[in-house]
Structure 1
Amino acid sequence: MASDHPDNPTQALRGRGAVSNLAGRFAQSTSALESDGWDLEAPPPRRLETEALPERAKSIIATNRSPDLPFEQSINPYRGCEHGCIYCYARPAHAYVDLSPGLDFETRLFFKPDAPALLERALRKPGYRCKPIALGSNTDPYQPLERDKRLTRKLLQVMQRFQQPVTIVTKGQLILDDLPLLAEMARDNLCQVAISVTTLDNALKRRLEPRTAGPAARLRTIEALRYADIPVAVMAAPMIPAINDSELEAILSAAHAAGAEQAAYILLRLPHEVAPLFRQWLQEHYPERMSHVMSLIRQSRGGRDYDSSFSQRQTGSGVFAQLLAQRFRISCRKLGLNQRRQTLDCSHFAAPPRAGEQQSLF
């Protein structure tokens, strides 16, 4: 039995992060193209177009009780992400729909057209208790597909009507299209935004997360959000040993200069299929560093590619992880980051009257 999908190109494709369509862990059988010896010349890898299909969801708010996550409920209007970040911990979710966490994850996308209606229905339920909703916890809510579908904007409009607080993490410039709406929500203490900045190196960005905004554009996004009085943080994530970890202080400093007041970082996570996909990426782009990078990762994950325990999965353990945490704390202290925590306001949540309903006078 071969290990990969027939569409495995075996080398990097322009504008794509993964270098293969590695089979998902639930696949019953897999296949791969093999040469019959008659190939006179290897054909060039074909261009992979992005395909987006509707997904009919029964509900839209996901809940979690993970002690290491700063939210209890989240919404993901999209499944899969065209940004193509090779390190994305959400890639394994594509295996649940019989697709590859590799190239399929960034080329075969799903959108939830009923998401705004489902959200309104959920917020109107008598038993709903208002808590901040994290928008885009699994894939980026401002990936390129948002330009056409505008599902994130429609969800925000529903939240504003209900006075429902929201947090957003993104690396997409499309968030600037919603700046007026977010500014209105921020005035009522209903939203916070975190911009993910993984590297300040454009060449590394193109390999690591090919269809994302460049580093300078993300810093300008932080600046625009801060200018609009929208609380903004920087996510220096993920920190990858011997790839971008040396940039931690520079990222924090640049983000602070742009207006970020809060900061966080996450050590690279390699759950399920992400580990072999990441090793393929290293072999393609940094073969001379591959063994060193993986050695540092294992030193930080109890001798394995990944440790999923709540106490370890975000920050790791061991000498490298401890030094990274110390560097982060020192840099934040020097820059004045994380000096105060803002809590979003849930006290004004209320279901607005439906069309045709008479609002109570009392």
Structure 2
Amino acid sequence: MCRCSAVIKALIFLTFFLHFSSAVTHTLQHVLTGVTPGINFPEFTVVGQVDGQQIDYYDSEIREMIPKTEWIQKNVGDDSWSDETQFRQGYQEIFKSNVGTAMQRFNQTKGVHTIQQMYGCELDDDGTTRGYKQWGYDGEDFITFDLKTLTWIAPTPQALISKNKWDYYTDFNNYWKNYLENICIEWLKKHLTYGRETLERKVRPEMSLFQKEATYSEVVCHATGFFPKAVMITWQKDGEDVHEDVDLRETLPNQDGSFQKRSILKVPAEELQKHTYTCVVQHSSLEKELVREVPKGGATIGVIVGVIAAVIALVIVTVVAGIVIWKKKNFGFKPVAQNSALASEGNSSSNNS
């Protein structure tokens, strides 16, 4: 019985790991962010990404759409950048109104607030495609486009005004269905061709464990420097999977185009002495998973503080780049979608609130 159970478990793990190693999902997305003025930060930013790598950027201070990778600059003509610049300049004015309108909806008169829009598409290696388009406000989902019904989902009462209006913009909703299911996929395939050498590279993660002694120890498993973005970090106790008291953080970009991710295990200090805890990292660049055992003695507080400080610094760099991602809510989210506005009444070419 025990031997059979162990064999079955090993086969399930092997099947899963092989699928994880071979399955590939490519993504193209744009994130548009508007913030309240007066905080020494651009009031409007736009970031484009392919497979998590930034490919272009615009903000309300430079007022110009600029390429961020050599391969995108080589393959996209100057006319396209000029057109995109004009397009983003128009959105800049819309988002300025959006912030004010959203504050009114939530009965807010002051404070720092953000409104976001994200849209994009995904392409699996088996040809399966998906598209998404969303708005968020102050880090929470605000309204989401349903591609199947061509209607809008409003998770908050403040978004019902927008939903009731946008549901009737049938021409606009049909346009976005075509864009997300066809045009976006075509552009994603083009970008994958342009940047194949960069986007299809595989770089192994570097793995570290850090521990802070306390009544409850926080053990940090940190993987960094890997590419592509998809990675799995899991914990085991005496060889058995651990799911409780695990805080898995978002995958963050490094400045060199690679990624980093960390998982935090909270466990009583005495448990660390009685049992063997290990962290397991799986990535498509690895022939087999990386495994590290949590040391019984722990690392110094200074080391872990330094690591956390570095992560915080990276988050700040990420936000400055305009990549602001809100919490994953009911829709299983990633970053946000493109519409036009939450401001005044308008025609169907812009989603005004």
TM-score, structure 1 normalization = 0.22
Q: Which has the higher contact order (CA 8 A, sep 6+)?
A: 2
Q: Which has the larger radius of gyration?
A: 2
Name whichever structure is richer in strand by fraction: 2
TM-score, structure 2 normalization = 0.22
